[in-house]
Structure 1
Amino acid sequence: MMLLTSLTLNAQEVAVLKYKGGGDWYSNPTALPNLVKYCNDNINTNINENVATVEAGSTDIFQYPFIHMTGHGNVFFDDTDAENLRNYLLSGGFIHIDDNYGMKPYVTKELKKVFPNKDLIPITKEHPIFSTAFDFPNGIPKIHEHDGKAPEALGLFHDDRLILLFTFETDLGDGWEDTEVHNDPQDVREKALKMGANIVKFAFEN
C-alpha cells in the first residue's frame, strides 16, 4: 500500500477525480477553482489554484489530501480503481462526492467495490464538519432544488474517522460555480462556499 507521506498530508493540494463509466466527471469546471480561491481568501489556506485532474486508478491521487468528485450519471470503478481508492482513503486521503443530479445509484454501487463491508451512513448535524470554519447548526445546506427532497450528507468512516463525504440533494458544486453559470443569489453562493470551506478544512486537519 502506498502511504501519504507527512509532507503530502501537510500539503494543501486538491484535485478533481476523473472516473470511468461515461459520467460527466468534468461538470462544474469553475466550481473547485472558485472554492480554492474562497478558502485562500477566507480561512487562511494556501492551496494551489491550478486545480489538478487525477484518474481513479492512478497513484497520483496520493499527492492530494483532498479529492472532489461530481457528475450527473454513470460511474464505474474497475478493480484497479477500487483498490487504489481504498488504499488512498485508508492512508489518510479524503474524497468529497457531490451529486450534481443522478449519481447516487451508481456511486452507491461502485463504493461497494471500494469498501464491500462499509455503507454510507447519515452524518449528524453535530459532526465537526459542520463547524470547522463556519457554523451550520442544521447540517448540510440546500443550494439547488432537484426532486423536492431534503439535502443529505452521508459518509464512510474508518476507525471513527470520516474518510468520504457524499452530498446529495444539495448540489454544493453548482453554488461554487461562477455567478453567471446558475445566476444564484449571492447569499446562496456564500452559503455553498462556506460549507465547501468547512469540508476542505476538515479534510486537511483530520
Structure 2
Amino acid sequence: MKKYLALVICLFPLCISAQNLAVAKYKGGGDWYGNPTSLPNLIAFCNANINTQMNSTPETVEIGSTDIFQYPLVHMTGHGNVFFSPEDAENLQNYLISGGFLHIDDNYGIRPYITKELKKVFPDLELVEIPKTHEIFNIAYKFPEGLPKIHEHDGKRPQAFGIFYENRLVLLFTYESDLGDGWEDPEVHNDPQDVREKALKMGANIVKYAFEH
C-alpha cells in the first residue's frame, strides 16, 4: 500500500496537468450535491475572465478515490454530516500534500462536522483564520476586507480559514459567506447582481490561486 501511495504521489504533477475542477462526494449523509448550478457558473466566469480553459461541467470525485489526483482543485459543500473513513483521510492528506487544493464552502451547518473530520486528515494541524492580506484575496480581484459576505446565515462576519502545510495553503474553508449560493443561477436565490459578482470574483481568486500554487 505504501509503495502504491508513493507512486501516486510521484505521478501527481502529471495527473493534474489539465486545468479542471471537481466536486467532492463524501460519506455521512450530507448533501454534497448541493448548489447544482454553482460550479458550472463559476467555470464559465473563470473561462471568460481569467483565461482558464476548464470543462464546462465539473466532474464528481469521491474523497477516497485516487481519481482525486487528476484535479488541482476540488470543491466541497453541504449543510449536514460529513464522515471520512481512515482510507478517505489518508487519500485526502496525500492529495493535499502532493499539490492538490480543497475548497470547502459552508452551505450552512457543515462546520461542526468538517472540523472534526479534518483532524483525521491532519491530526497535528489546525484551521487558522487567513488574514485579509493573503494572496488569495488579491490574486485576480482585490478584496481588501477579505472574504465577502454573500448570505446572512447567523449574521456573523464572513471568515476564511485555512490549513497550511509546509507554509503552503492547501485547504480553504469559507464560513458565514456561502460563495456557492452566490454562484448559482440568479433565480435560485434572487441575489442582486453586485452580490453575485462579488461571489464569482472571489471564486475566481480561489481557482487562480489553486491552479498557480
TM-score bin (small chain): over 0.9
Match of 2:189 in 1: 182
| Corresponding residue to 1:135 among 133, 138, 142 | 142
Matched to 1:104, the amino acid is: R
| Distance (whole Å) between structure 2 residues aligned to residue 109 and residue 80 of structure 1 | 16
Match of 1:64 in 2: 71
| Distance (whole Å) between structure 2 residues aligned to residue 110 and residue 138 of structure 1 | 29
Post-superposition offset of 1:49: 1.1
| Distance (whole Å) between structure 1 residues aligned to residue 167 and residue 93 of structure 2 | 16
Post-superposition offset of 1:67: 0.1
| Distance (whole Å) between structure 1 residues aligned to residue 68 and residue 13 of structure 2 | 15
The Cα offsets for residues 138-167 of structure 1, whole Å up to 9 and x where unpaired, read as 000000000010000000001110000000
Q: What percent identity do the matched residue pairs reach?
A: 70
Contact 1:9/1:204 (<8 A) preserved: no
Count of residues paired in the alignment: 206
1:26-105 mapped onto 2 (5 Å cutoff): 26-105=33-112
| Corresponding residue to 1:116 among 123, 132, 135 | 123
Match of 1:21 in 2: 28
Post-superposition offset of 1:8: 3.3
Post-superposition offset of 1:9: 3.6
Post-superposition offset of 1:6: 3.0
What SS does the aligned partner of 1:5 have? helix
| Corresponding residue to 1:192 among 193, 199, 210 | 199
TM-score by length of 2: 0.95
Contact 1:13/1:65 (<8 A) preserved: yes
Match of 1:152 in 2: 159
What SS does the aligned partner of 2:151 have? coil
| Distance (whole Å) between structure 1 residues aligned to residue 15 and residue 144 of structure 2 | 32
5+ residue gaps, structure 2, are none
| Distance (whole Å) between structure 1 residues aligned to residue 98 and residue 12 of structure 2 | 9
| Distance (whole Å) between structure 2 residues aligned to residue 165 and residue 39 of structure 1 | 18
What SS does the aligned partner of 1:16 have? strand
5+ residue gaps, structure 1, are none
| Distance (whole Å) between structure 1 residues aligned to residue 13 and residue 112 of structure 2 | 35
What SS does the aligned partner of 1:162 have? strand
| Distance (whole Å) between structure 2 residues aligned to residue 205 and residue 143 of structure 1 | 26
What is the Cα-based RMSD across aligned positions, in Å? 0.8
| Distance (whole Å) between structure 2 residues aligned to residue 80 and residue 9 of structure 1 | 21
Post-superposition offset of 1:50: 1.9
